[in-house]
Structure 1
Amino acid sequence: MVDLDGKVVLVTGASRGIGAAAALAFAEAGATVGVMARNQDGVRDLAARIGGIALAGDVARAGDMERAVAAMGDRWGRLDVLVNNAGVIGPMADIASADPTVWGQAIDINLKGVFHGMRAVLPMMRAQGGGTVLTVGSGAAHAPREGWSAYCASKAGAWMLTRALDHEARAQGIRAISLSPGTVATDMQAAIRQSGINPISQLDWSVHIPPEWPARALVWLCGPGGDAFLGDEVSLRDETIRRRLGLAA
């Protein structure tokens, strides 16, 4: 286990799924954790459980992200890790029938939300001599899926943002890494299954990994193990990575 004692972490989309599991994993590793969701009530109990802070905000709004980062700095004087986790899958529809407003909302959250997070943390991280920005990516960034045009496009953009951040800021001590977790047993995956829109929706539930696996990987990437993946993407489909993390095959 990576020792993160004394480190301060902010996790977006922390009310459930990978975000909630990540908050617990970071706290277990010794970090102080801020948990952010659009509804503060959704993360209040989690924050109390881990001794952190509950933050209300929408990553799609630059000002909300800036205020969340400022709150972390005001409370603890630093921010060592940002986990860009907030994301949505919809609209699950082909391009011809997709609702333009809902399509745009996916871009606002999955892509612009990552940009807003990166932009908000850079001044503080640069001033303190460095930090780690982890973005929860997806295999959908690299291959089109039926009915997922917004999700695929936004995740592809987020992957490029990780590469761009590494290109611009590695010299200032900023560690930018993307994690592609594969299919995870979360509420999002349940919605995908219900849609029946593409082959992923037909997968047996037993093949999906638990959210604790990507949570564990996110913590690991904050340690020396992550140094080999700066500006890159780590896939939990990779059996070598799973073995390094001590996860079941």
Structure 2
Amino acid sequence: MDRHALLRLNPTRHCRRPTMTLTGKTALVTGGNRGIGLATVRALALAGAAVHFTSRSAAGIAAAQRALGDIPATGHLVNMTDRLAMTTLFDQPFDILVNNAAIIGPIGRILDVSVEDWALNIDTNLTAAFHATQLALGQMVARGGGTIINISSGAAHRPQEGWSAYCAGKAGLAMLTRAVHMEYGDQGIRIFGFAPGVVDTDMQGTIRASGINPVSQLPRESLAPADHPARAIAWLCTPAADALAGQELDIRAPDLRAAADLPPLA
């Protein structure tokens, strides 16, 4: 992360909580029915955005609506890999796209996983995110700008045993972030790759159950709450983060945490 760019934008980075005003913006969070996605739906809505989210099941939408309570958000029964359904969803314009939907499996060493399962991971985590980005870009460029946040991972840059598909997909997504910035950054497109850290989600439960690499050994009490990355994502959607566009950002970076008013790490 460009520390100097962040400091230029936030010379009073140790002041009180920054104002996160997204009033008048419309956002789409893929996989927004639980975990980081649901926390992001909540954070964006509380900042004033009109928020939509996708889920692969009606039950997931209903559970998300119950968890949100009085916080308004619109759920859409859409599988990210369904190209036609995604195209239809983008009949309405979005100012903000958060590519959050992802799967961790197949978990296993390369000789122990099927090519079909491996390809499904890439289709979900990379190709579907590319399609959503492409659909959003067409709208955003025509309207003069917009924000796209790709949920990245340390796995994009460091291999983990048993995660060849997940690591490859996230590495591809990181390069997609750079490509979009290079091609459309000068047309008002603000795109960020954001690694949320190790967060207490259902995916982490699956990882712990696998027992296959050091991440699976992390105790649950050491995991961060989902609202921490969600608050950082909401901050990235504001003009305060403009100078960081095109970068891969990590929630562990002290300056980013301070700008998003997150507590320092121990």
TM-score (norm 2): 0.88
**Match of residue 101, structure 2, among 86, 94, 106:** 86
Deviations 1:32-76 (A, max 9, x none): 000111123412454574323211111122222211121xx1xxx
Q: Is 1:30–2:48 an aligned residue pair? A: yes
Q: Does 1:50 align with 2:71?
A: yes
* Cα distance between partner residues in 2 of 1:49 and 1:199: 39
Aligned residue for 1:146? 161
Matches within 5 A, 1:53-68: 53-68=74-89
Query: Does residue 96 in structure 1 map to residue 111 in structure 2?
Result: yes
My pick for the range that moved more, 215-224 or 39-48, is 39-48
Whose relative contact order is higher, 1 or 2, with alpha carbons under 8 Å and at least 6 apart?
Answer: 2
Residue pairs, 1:216-227, within 5 angstroms: 216-227=231-242
Contact preservation (8 Å) 1:94, 1:147: yes
RMSD: 1.4
Residue type of the partner of 1:33?
V
Residue by residue, what CA displacement relative to the aligned partner does 1:156-200 show, whole Å, maximum 9, x if unpaired? 001111111111111211111110011110000011011110011
| % identity of equivalent residues | 44
Cα distance in 2, alignment partners of residues 224 and 2 from structure 1: 9
Q: Deviations over 1:121-174 (max 9, x none)?
A: 112111211100111000000010000000000000011111111111112111
Q: More deviation in 140-149 or 54-63?
A: 54-63
How many residues are matched? 243
Give the TM-score normalised by the residue count of structure 1. Answer: 0.93
Q: Where do 1:66-215 residues align within 5 Å? A: 66-70=87-91, 73=92, 78-215=93-230
Gaps of 5+ in 2: 1-18
The match for 1:20 among 38, 52, 64 is 38
Structure 1: stretches of 5+ with no match in the other structure: none
Conserved? CA contact 2:33–2:63, under 8 Å = no
Aligned residue type for 2:28: L
The corresponding residue for 2:13 is: none
CA distance in 2, matches of 1:240, 1:172: 27
